[in-house]
Each structure stands twice: as C-alpha cells, then as structure tokens.
Structure 1
C-alpha cells in the first residue's frame, strides 16, 4: 500500500506547488483562478508525458539490460528536464497557435476554457494508457484535446484542419519509417559483424564506424533543435558539426573497442557488449531531445491560457522560466514516479532486445526524426520508437522463419520426444515454428498498441468536448 500511495502523494504535492507558483508568478486579474487551474492541468499533463514517453528513450536500453530500471529513470529524468529547461521554448508556438484557426473568433475566456479542457482530457487519456502499459503519442493526445474542445466551443470552423490532417498522416508514416530504418540498420550489423566468422575482428572495424555515425547523426539532430534565440545554424554549419562529431566519435571509439574486445570470445552475445556504452549515450541524447520537443504538449496550452488571461499575443512570445519549470519538473517526476510500466512494454513485451537491437532502435529513431524534419513531415516520437522495435522484431522473425524453412529438420529434444507423444516430427516442428514466431514478436501486444494509437486523437477529442461542456457550466 505505501508503495502505491507515495507516488500519488508526491504527484499531488507537485500539483499543489504548481498552483502556488502560478499564483505568485502572475499578477492578479479577473480570471486568475482559471489561470491557476490551467497551470495545474499543465502540470498534470507534464507528469503524464514523463510517465508515458520515457519508454521511447530508455525502454530499449532497459529491455537489453544495458540499464537497470532505476538508472534508466534517473538518466531520463535528468536529461528530459535539461532538454525542457534549456531548449523547451522553441516548439511551444505550434501547439499554442497553429491548431485553432485564426478566424475562429474565440473570446479570451472561451480560449482559456478550451485549453484547460484539452489539457485535462489529454492527460486523462495518457494516464489511462500508462496504467495499462500502452505507449501513445502525447502530441496526438493534446492535439485531439484542442480539436475536440474547439469544435465544442465554436464548431468545425474553429479548427485548422489542414494542420490536423498532416498530423494524422504521421500515424502511418512514423512507425513505418522507424521500422524501415531499424530493420535496415539491423540487417547491416548482421552482415558486417554478427554473421562474420571472426566477429571480434569485424567489430573492431565496424563498431567505431557505427559510433561515428551515431555521433554525427545526433550532433546534427541536436543542432537542428537548438532554440532560434540561441543559434540558427545554416546547412553548411550543420554538416560541419556532423562531420566533426563523427570524427570525434570514431577517434574515441577506435581504441576503446580494441581494448574492450581483447577479453571477449568470438560470440554474438559477447560482441553485443561493445554496443552498451553507445546505447546509453543514445538514450541520454534522445531524452534531452524529447524534453526539448514534447514539453510543448503541456506548455503550449498553458502559454495560450496565460496570454489570453492578460490579453497578450501568444505568437512569438518566449516561454517564461516559471512555465518551463512546471514542464521540466512535471516530466522528470512523471518519469521517476510512473515510468516503469510503459518501459516494460516497449523494452520487454513486444520483442526480445539485446544491446545491438536496442542500439538499432535508438539510432533509427534519431535518423527517422531527422529525415522527417528535412522533408517537413511531423512525426510522433512514440510511434517512431515503437515502430523501430516492431521493425527489429519482424526482421528477426522473417530471418528466423526463412532459416527454418530452408534448413533440414533439426534434431532437437522436442522432436525426438515427439514419438513418445504420438506426434509426427513435422507436427512438432510446425508447432515449434509457431511458438518461435510468437516469441519473436507478440502479436497481441502489437494489436493492443495499434488500437491505442488509432483511438488516441478521437478519444481525446471526445473527452475534451465533454469536459468543455462541464467547464462552461461552472464558469459561464
């Protein structure tokens, strides 16, 4: 019982402190209590973002046993909070301004009510998804909430439907791109390292190359995410940063891999240990990028609420330090208090991961987001990461089935014992193949996650519309 009550108590204390902070930070006004309610709703949303989205960044590392649950939660909390504080103000404008149409004609009071309803609805949906261990897109949840509340307030014309339509396309695009990149990277590592006769010698050549690629890709990724008020690098500068980071990564990895490989045997499980440090670094960098991007799902509506209450324009206004503090602290606490459930789903319940497969997932997530950004396509970090896990699992399953179909009937204890069970050997082999397929990718878990993805936006929209009606009944 205390284990269950303590996290809830800490979360409630955080929401109380959030209300106090908003009350102190803002000047008094006629809609002050609504602004405080909005700040509490944003804090609740930030808690749920941390609880659900943490699995995108550290779930594969935990599943691969590269990080313990405690160390993964600590790493994610620190780097997510740092990303939110240092670079979290850049993407708030999209959520605050781009979903509701400019000609919607919402009054400040109505806009505040819409944003509060959207925050609470999205947070409730993510909370329920986290409880059952389903990773969902927090971006889709908050956009669905804004859409539902705005339609309830001013009809379908209040929504910028082209923006919502582009986001809906990412439902299919995000997991597909993540799966393709992860499967391709897994196949590359398989051909260059794990299927070679001398795996250690191959690893000494290719692991530094992969680390260099990871270093360059993440450097470019973080450079493109730098806040504009800090730095706006042009394309040549970004490419130069990527080349410099890749060179440093290769120079650092070369001697380290050679030294660490001296004590390893020529086995795949041993070679996989060389991927552990790069995987941990990748998890930290993904957490930083996640904090910088997804904190907007909590702070975007809060910015709109605060500016509407004080009749200020939302566009082009930087997020204040107290708003960033709510987002960063909420995400960090959500990770620490409620993160393990979804981490187990992503890291352990879809397919079996080791350090190599988890590295493929992490690097593919960064490559996918970079590619989508270059093409101007919005993607969900949750869908990308989970799609990458799907990709690794399904390509392993395909290769396993192909190898089994192309090989002679193996002599295994299960087949030898088949005669004792009055089974034909081919029946036992078929049963074993079916069991192997279920083991590599759990179909039920894939179906559950897919359903959660499909219903997130409409469910959050319907709940937000209902909450908006309830809210106006009390606030007028």
Structure 2
C-alpha cells in the first residue's frame, strides 16, 4: 500500500516543475522519495489515527479486515499507476475501510463522513481558485516579479513556522511546531492575546525567504522563479508524505498500536520506507501523466498550482483529515492553466478523472464489503 502511495499520490507535487522544465522526471522521482518519506515520519500520525479508529464505530478492525482493506485500496492505486490515471488514495482507502468495517457489523461514523465529505468537496474549488488568482497576479505587468515572487515565498515560509512535526514536543498534543517550541521555551509575553515570540518567528521565517528569493530574482528572473518552484515542490512533497502515509498505516493502528503495543513511529517508518521505494520505482509514469496532459504550464502558473497544495495539505494534517493529493494538485494545475485561457487544459482528461474519482469511492466501499465477506466465509471466520 505504501509503495502504491509513493508511486501514485506523492507524484503530483513535482509535476508542475517538470511541466515547466525546471527539473527532470527522474530527478523529481528521487527527491519525492526522500522528502515524502521524511514527511511521513514526522507528520503522519494524525491521519493514521483517523483512518484506523474513526471511520467505523462499535467494532474492532481485525487482521483479516485490515488486510482486505489494504488489498482493495492498494489494488486501486496500482491500477492508477499502470493506466496513467491518478487514483485518489484517500477515496480508495476510506471507501475500502468503511466497506470492511460495515461487513464486520460496525456502525457508520456519520459525523466523520460529514467532516471528510465537506473538506473533500471544498478542495477542488479552493485549490483551483487559489491557483487561478495566484497565476493571474503573477502574470500582471504592473506588479514586478522582484516583489510578487518573493512575497509568495515569504507567505509559504511563514506557514512553515507553524506546521506540526512529530520530532518537536508539545505539552498539549503529539506534534508541535517551531513557533510553538520557541514560545514554550521562552515563555514570552502576549499582546492582545497574541504570543509575541510566535509573531517574531513567523516574521523571521518570512523575511529570510523573501530576501533569499528576491536576490535570486534580481540576478536572473527566470532562475529565481525556478529556484522558488523547486523549493515549493520539495515542501509540497514533504507535506504529501505526511498526509498520505496514514492511509497505509491507519488500518494497522488498532492491531499493532493498541493490542501489540508497537510504537506509532515504527508503523510510520514502515510506511515511509514503502513510500520511498514506490516513488523511486513507480513515480515517473504518473509524473509524466500529470505534468504533460492536464495543462501546459509555465513556471509562474506552476507556482500557482503548488501554493494551494501546500496550504490545503497542512490544513488537512492539522485536522487529521485523509486527503487525495492528486485531487489538490490536479485542481491547482487546472486553475493555473485556466489563468491563461482554456487552450492548455484537456477537458476530456478532466472529465474522465472526476468520473474515475467518484467511481473509486463508491466501488471501493462495495468491493471492500463483498471481499471481506468472501474471505471470512472461505476461512470460516464469523
């Protein structure tokens, strides 16, 4: 399952950079593996908990149920890798685990489904809209690139100061951010209820990124923009690992984490290893499909496609919501492409992909339900 995630859902973050000829396909696949694995280790815990414990009520996921759910989801995504159509990993895994959970006799967790469904429905218009607006602003002649591009870099860096990482302790939750760590360490004063040290760290991160990219753009506009695009792709790849690994480790949480006492970091390490190998072996095919077929993007529209991807992914991680990274990035790619007109966007490819997403969610529930019933009957398990 983790191999399929590395090959499938962690591929899109570098697709805009490849489409803009800022990096080769094989170089992108190598970096995706390293960065996504690091994100999986440091940010994957919240998604893993949601998938493993909050999708079905009044039942315990058995080893056979977890095996069945992972088999169904991984099969969907392996199909996507070899057909060239990015499969939404969150839809496949969520549907499969709901299906096997219902087959076990569990009750639907309607509150969780409502929360997930609302977030998922908001992703395409939010990602596409943010990308469209960002691409439009980057194309304006009255805003110099020595201002617009460094400003975007500053916004991204400011958010980085607040992303939650498992390697940073926090007294209130398992993951903490750099800004929170400084605040707790220094015990700085507040102004109108706002921690001054948090503001200082945020401004510091933003200022460093602004100055660095500004210098690059001053020397060479194209080279500076490509530098920011590659850095942004790396940050998004890191975020994708954190948001996706829980789809592989979540079904094992209750069995190995609760019953056998295996540390959560051990499960995340197993998932991170699978993501790393999958990215190196299977990512190039999906990278080509995503970067070339959805829109012919330049570096500016590519940046516009990645910025919302980073913001939405980190929001989902903070809320513990499993998401489809393909959904986020592809929506951003389309929104960035539309900023220059519809000529660079394949409408047929978009329509087929959306249809495939809907079918993935519904059919994974049905297949998960039926396959568990078949396996349990064959094995004589009640």
TM-score, with length taken from structure 2: 0.86
Q: Distance in 2 between matches of 1:184 and 1:142?
A: 32
Greater RCO structure (CA 8 Å; 6+ sep): 2
Mapping of residues 57-76 of structure 1, within 5 Å = 57-76=13-32
Q: Distance in 2 between matches of 1:87 and 1:375?
A: 12
Per the TM alignment, residue 354 of structure 1 is displaced from its structure 2 partner at its CA by: 1.4
1:22 matched residue in structure 2? none
Q: Distance in 2 between matches of 1:344 and 1:86?
A: 28
| 2:197 is aligned with 1:293 | no
Q: Deviations over 1:381-438 (max 9, x none)?
A: 32121111111122321xxxxxxxxxxxxxxxxxxxxxxxxxxxxxxxxxxxxxxx4x
* 1:190 corresponds to which of 136, 139, 154: 139
Q: Distance in 2 between matches of 1:325 and 1:223?
A: 15
Q: Distance in 1 between matches of 2:148 and 2:338?
A: 24
- Given that 2:42 and 2:167 are in contact with CA atoms closer than 8 Å, whether structure 1 keeps it comes out as no
* 1:366 corresponds to which of 310, 317, 327: 310
SS in 2 for 1:396: coil
| 2:121 is aligned with 1:177 | no
Q: Deviations over 1:240-279 (max 9, x none)?
A: 433211111122223332223xxxxxxxxxx444311111
Q: Distance in 2 between matches of 1:90 and 1:177?
A: 22
2:176 matched residue in structure 1? 231
Per the TM alignment, residue 111 of structure 1 is displaced from its structure 2 partner at its CA by: 2.4
Q: Computing the radius of gyration over CA atoms, which structure comes out larger, 1 or 2?
A: 1
Q: Deviations over 1:281-327 (max 9, x none)?
A: 111111112212211110111222325664x6xxxx84142x22320
Question: How has the CA–CA distance of structure 1 residues 373 and 121 changed in structure 2, closer, same or farther, with 3 Å as cutoff?
Answer: closer
Per the TM alignment, residue 74 of structure 1 is displaced from its structure 2 partner at its CA by: 0.8
Higher mean alpha-carbon deviation, 359-368 vs 81-90, is at: 81-90
- Given that 2:90 and 2:322 are in contact with CA atoms closer than 8 Å, whether structure 1 keeps it comes out as no
- Given that 1:76 and 1:287 are in contact with CA atoms closer than 8 Å, whether structure 2 keeps it comes out as yes
2:55 matched residue in structure 1? 99
Q: Distance in 2 between matches of 1:61 and 1:456?
A: 28
Q: Distance in 1 between matches of 2:380 and 2:219?
A: 67
* 1:282 corresponds to which of 222, 225, 232: 232
1:393 matched residue in structure 2? 337
1:254 matched residue in structure 2? 214
Mapping of residues 255-270 of structure 1, within 5 Å = 255-260=215-220
SS in 2 for 1:351: coil
Q: Which protein has the bigger helix share?
A: 1
Per the TM alignment, residue 375 of structure 1 is displaced from its structure 2 partner at its CA by: 8.7
Q: Distance in 2 between matches of 1:318 and 1:238?
A: 31
Q: Distance in 1 between matches of 2:231 and 2:264?
A: 29
Per the TM alignment, residue 365 of structure 1 is displaced from its structure 2 partner at its CA by: 1.4
2:202 matched residue in structure 1? 242
| 2:114 is aligned with 1:165 | yes
| 2:100 is aligned with 1:139 | no
Q: Distance in 2 between matches of 1:459 and 1:131?
A: 19
1:422 matched residue in structure 2? none
| 2:101 is aligned with 1:150 | yes
| 2:151 is aligned with 1:209 | yes
Q: Deviations over 1:177-225 (max 9, x none)?
A: 000100110111112xxx35xx8xx223333223222322333345699
SS in 1 for 2:312: helix
- For structure 2, the residue ranges without an aligned partner over 5 or more in a row are 184-193
Question: How has the CA–CA distance of structure 1 residues 216 and 308 changed in structure 2, closer, same or farther, with 3 Å as cutoff?
Answer: closer
Question: How has the CA–CA distance of structure 1 residues 96 and 240 changed in structure 2, closer, same or farther, with 3 Å as cutoff?
Answer: farther
Per the TM alignment, residue 460 of structure 1 is displaced from its structure 2 partner at its CA by: 1.2
2:367 matched residue in structure 1? 463
- Given that 1:137 and 1:380 are in contact with CA atoms closer than 8 Å, whether structure 2 keeps it comes out as yes
Q: Distance in 2 between matches of 1:457 and 1:369?
A: 20
| 2:351 is aligned with 1:447 | yes
Q: Distance in 2 between matches of 1:174 and 1:345?
A: 21
SS in 1 for 2:162: helix
1:124 matched residue in structure 2? 75
2:160 matched residue in structure 1? 218
- Given that 1:48 and 1:126 are in contact with CA atoms closer than 8 Å, whether structure 2 keeps it comes out as yes
Question: How has the CA–CA distance of structure 1 residues 125 and 292 changed in structure 2, closer, same or farther, with 3 Å as cutoff?
Answer: same
Per the TM alignment, residue 126 of structure 1 is displaced from its structure 2 partner at its CA by: 1.2
1:7 matched residue in structure 2? none
* 1:319 corresponds to which of 252, 264, 268: 264
Question: How has the CA–CA distance of structure 1 residues 215 and 224 changed in structure 2, closer, same or farther, with 3 Å as cutoff?
Answer: farther
- Given that 2:56 and 2:101 are in contact with CA atoms closer than 8 Å, whether structure 1 keeps it comes out as yes
Question: How has the CA–CA distance of structure 1 residues 370 and 238 changed in structure 2, closer, same or farther, with 3 Å as cutoff?
Answer: farther
